[in-house]
Structure 1
Amino acid sequence: MSTRILVVQPDEAVPAGTLGEWLEEAGAELYTRLGGADEVPATADGYDAVVCLGGGMNALADDTYPWLGDVRRLLSAAVGSGVATLGVCLGGQLLAAATGGVVNPGPHGPEAGPKLVSKKDAAWTDPLFAELPLMPDVLEFHRDAIEMLPGGATLLASTPLYPHQAFRVGKRGYGLQFHIETTRDIVDTWVARSPDVAGVAKADAFDADTLDRMHADIAETWRPFAHRFVDLAAGTLRPADDPRRGLPLA
């Protein structure tokens, strides 16, 4: 029996990409809801996991994107009920905001291009992060940042510019500030759409050869991570211990 994953895609230009392929490789069946076009359910009932992807909007821009509140409520409900949950970039910010964290425009400006993030001590005993290298390759492409983690959340990875790069909330909730799902075509679309973000990266950051090398390095590290997430959702991978007794609702 396949693992059912609800995928929330807030932005047409930010699809599941290779992350979706890796999840399906591990036996998952994906059910995608596009923000603003498809209804976002209030709970994760009927699904084994929730994945929320990235987007160009602010996590709290409800005036312009009123359905964002529905996404936050879904993420809060999923984490609160122990459903495996993964938020990527905007998805990670939405997860943080939904469970009591603070998201604001990054005070140091955008962060963009191929980067390395550093694992924190807690990551070495985390079921998803333990097997990652000390400094895994990622792609950064964001204006906003997680200023404060939710109460009781566990920090799993950092960069010098923005320290809250990956975190765990509850037993099975994970937020990433960075991207692991991109292809060269997806990144090219973002660079053309958001030159202000792309402009802070190194001069050759988005050259074809650089992107190809980065994506090969990301796949080596994060493809097994995606497979472990499916195992976590399926119940064949034991979750982390959660010291907290409850989570705030969005």
Structure 2
Amino acid sequence: MTGARVLVVEHEDGTGPAQVGERLAAQGLVIDLCRPWAGDTLPNTLDGHDGFLVLGGSMGPYDEERAPWLPAVGGLLREAVARDMPTLGICLGMELLTVACGGEVRHAARPEVGLCELTPLQEAAKDRLFGPFVDADTWLSAVQWHWEETGTLPEGAVALLTSERCAHQAYRIGTSVWGVQFHPEVLAGDIGTWGSSDVGPLQALGLDPAGVVAEVAREETALRELWGAFAEQWGAIVTEDRSTVEAPPSA
């Protein structure tokens, strides 16, 4: 039997699955990378997939003129919620999940860029994705790069993480659909081009692009260890849920 199959949606050049994709592939999961920005056609359904990963991008969740495939991604996210299929929406992916499920995304009053501390909420310790990483001794910090944020959670969503500037850093819908505002997939090398393309907006925030990348580079080892393990935990959930679905009924 081949490994569990994950549909991955990439919205823009330079915003691939990075270390999350590497960890999933190392676990034997099959990655179906769809790049609608490059002309790939999104599937009409999640049939044939066991997990769904929606990545980030510089557009916002309402920028349908710039990225006309966004409504179709929203439809797939609603399908994932209906199926309770293991799903992870990252940054724009979380914002699309929020909008698709009836929540509200707004412009952030205080955008987050660079390395930021995360604070677990009470439900995080019981969550099967975040639970292993939220004990008192775990360092929780991640790369942020967003000017939009979830203002109102979808109905029934369970808040899991917060931060000083952004109330909703992670949430769960059902048992298996997660959105995260931060970027568990990237390291310093991945965000180098982001800094180059966002010089003006970063300077408007009083940030130096090279300084942001250097800050992330200083914590590279810890980021790789923490969020690499997080990716593996999500991959294990995809595989576990697929095995549960595929297991024959007991005699």
TM norm structure 1: 0.88
**Contact persistence 2:187–2:224 (CA under 8 A):** no
Alpha-carbon shift at residue 183 of structure 1 (Å): 3.0
Measure, in 2, the Cα distance between the counterparts of 1:195 and 1:60. Answer: 23
Equivalence map 1:1-250=2 (5 Å): 1-36=2-37, 37-106=39-108, 108-133=109-134, 134=136, 135-199=139-203, 200=205, 205-208=211-214, 210-235=215-240
**Contact persistence 2:52–2:86 (CA under 8 A):** yes
The residue type paired with residue 110 of structure 1 is P
Alpha-carbon shift at residue 168 of structure 1 (Å): 0.4
Measure, in 2, the Cα distance between the counterparts of 1:126 and 1:195. Answer: 37
The residue type paired with residue 76 of structure 1 is R
Evaluate the alpha carbon distance shift between residue 117 and residue 202 of structure 1 in structure 2; reply closer, same or farther with a 3 A threshold. Answer: farther
Evaluate the alpha carbon distance shift between residue 207 and residue 5 of structure 1 in structure 2; reply closer, same or farther with a 3 A threshold. Answer: closer
Alpha-carbon shift at residue 184 of structure 1 (Å): 2.2
Which gives a bigger RCO, structure 1 or 2 (Cα 8 Å, sep 6+)? 1
Runs of 5+ unmatched residues, structure 2:
245-251
Question: Please, what is the CA RMSD of the aligned residues?
Answer: 2.0
Measure, in 2, the Cα distance between the counterparts of 1:192 and 1:176. Answer: 24
Q: When you count helix as a share of all residues, which structure comes out higher?
A: 2
Evaluate the alpha carbon distance shift between residue 205 and residue 237 of structure 1 in structure 2; reply closer, same or farther with a 3 A threshold. Answer: farther
Once the two structures are overlaid, the 10-residue window that deviates more, 112-121 or 215-224, is 215-224
Measure, in 2, the Cα distance between the counterparts of 1:60 and 1:215. Answer: 33
The residue type paired with residue 98 of structure 2 is A
> What percentage of residue pairs aligned between the two structures are identical?
29
Evaluate the alpha carbon distance shift between residue 207 and residue 173 of structure 1 in structure 2; reply closer, same or farther with a 3 A threshold. Answer: closer
Measure, in 2, the Cα distance between the counterparts of 1:47 and 1:142. Answer: 29
Evaluate the alpha carbon distance shift between residue 152 and residue 97 of structure 1 in structure 2; reply closer, same or farther with a 3 A threshold. Answer: same
Runs of 5+ unmatched residues, structure 1:
240-250
Deviations 1:85-118 (A, max 9, x none): 0011101111111111111211x14211111110
**Contact persistence 2:143–2:216 (CA under 8 A):** no
Measure, in 2, the Cα distance between the counterparts of 1:238 and 1:94. Answer: 28
**Contact persistence 1:44–1:83 (CA under 8 A):** no
SS at match of 2:52: strand
The residue type paired with residue 176 of structure 2 is R
Measure, in 2, the Cα distance between the counterparts of 1:214 and 1:24. Answer: 24
Evaluate the alpha carbon distance shift between residue 197 and residue 119 of structure 1 in structure 2; reply closer, same or farther with a 3 A threshold. Answer: farther
Once the two structures are overlaid, the 10-residue window that deviates more, 45-54 or 24-33, is 24-33
The residue type paired with residue 91 of structure 2 is C
Alignment size in residue pairs: 237
TM norm structure 2: 0.88
